[in-house]
Structure 1
Amino acid sequence: MLPGEAPTPAQVALKGLCPRCGAPTLFRGWTEFASSCRVCALDLSTFNVGDGPAAFLTLIIGAVIVVLAITVELSLSPPFWVHMLLWIPLTAAAVVGSLRLAKGALISLEYRHAAEEGRIKRP
C-alpha cells in the first residue's frame, strides 16, 4: 500500500486497518471496533455493520459443518459424542474466527461507498 492510498477491503479485513489512512487501529478487541482511529481521527462509531456478518457466517459455516457431519456419519458412523466433540467447537471457532474478517470487510465497504441509512424524502 502506497502512502496516502486507501487500503482495499481485503487489507482492512485481514489486518484490521483504518479504511481511511491504513493504520492498524480498526479494532479495540477481537471483534469490537475502536470508537475512532488514533491516527486520522475517523469516527468509526458512525458506521453500523449490525448483525449481518454474524447471521451470514452462521448460515454459511453451519451449512458447511452439516455437510461435513453427514459425510463423517455416513462414512465412519462414529458415536454421537464424537460428533459433539468435533462439530460444536469447530463451528464456534469458525464463526468467531471469521467474524473479525467479515466485520472489517463490511466497514471498509461502507466507508468506501459512503453508505448511509436510507431516508424517505418528504414533500
Structure 2
Amino acid sequence: MTVTIETGSGTRTGLSRAMARGFVGRCPHCGQGRIFGRFLKVQPDCGVCGLELSHHRADDLPPYIVIFIIGHIVGYFLLETEMNYDVPLWFQLTFWPLVTLLGSLALLQPVKGAVVGLQYALGMHGFAKLPVSTTGDIEETQHGPDHGHAAGGASA
C-alpha cells in the first residue's frame, strides 16, 4: 500500500516507493535523477526534478542497518559451516572477513539511499518543504469545501 501526500506540483512519493527509489540510487521524488555524486556523497539536488537533497541527515543509521543485516547473514552461515563441515581455520579466518567487508561495501550505498528516501517520504529535516510548500494547498483543501457549503447554505 502506497500513501501519497498532495503538494502544489503533484504528489509526494509514498514511503515504500521513495525508499525503493533511494535504494537503487535514484531521486525519491521523480525516480529518474541520481542521488549520489560519489560513493556515499549525496548530490546537492536532483538534476531532473530539482529536489533539494542537501537536507538529508542519514548520519549513523545506514552503517547500523548494514551491520545488523550483514552480521546476521554472515553469523548464520559461519555457524552453519562450523557445525556441519570440517573447514580449516585459515580458510574461515580469511573467507568470512572478506565476505563481511564486501557485503558491507555492497549494501552501504543502497541503504543510505533508502534512508534518504525515508526522510523525504516522512518530510523529515528540510524535506518538509519540498518539492514545494504545501501550506496553500492545505488551506484550499480545508476551506474550499467548507466555503462551498457555507455559500450553498446561505443562498438556499
TM-score normalised by structure 1 residue count: 0.79
Q: In the alignment, which residue of structure 2 is the partner of 1:21? A: 30
Q: Which runs of 5+ in 2 are unaligned?
A: 1-9, 127-156
| Mapped partners of 2:62, 2:87: distance in 1 | 33
Q: Does 1:67 align with 2:64?
A: no
Aligned-partner SS, 1:26: coil
* Structure 1 counterpart of 2:120, one-letter code: Y
Q: Is the 8 A contact 2:22 2:115 kept in 1?
A: no
The structure 2 residue matched to 1:50, chosen from 59, 70, 81, is 59
The structure 2 residue matched to 1:88, chosen from 87, 94, 97, is 97
| Mapped partners of 1:94, 1:101: distance in 2 | 12
* Structure 1 counterpart of 2:42, one-letter code: F
Which structure: larger Rg? 2
The structure 1 residue matched to 2:112, chosen from 93, 99, 103, is 103
Q: How many residues align?
A: 113
TM-score normalised by structure 2 residue count: 0.64
Q: Is the 8 A contact 2:26 2:34 kept in 1?
A: yes
Aligned-partner SS, 1:35: coil
Offset of residue 20 of structure 1: 2.0
- Higher relative CO (Cα under 8 Å, sequence separation at least 6) belongs to 2
C-alpha RMSD over aligned residues = 2.1
Offset of residue 83 of structure 1: 0.6
| Mapped partners of 1:36, 1:116: distance in 2 | 15
Q: In the alignment, which residue of structure 2 is the partner of 1:115? A: 124
| Mapped partners of 1:21, 1:59: distance in 2 | 30
| Mapped partners of 1:26, 1:12: distance in 2 | 7
The structure 2 residue matched to 1:12, chosen from 8, 14, 22, is 22
Q: Which runs of 4+ in 1 moved over 6 A?
A: none
- Give the % identical residues: 27
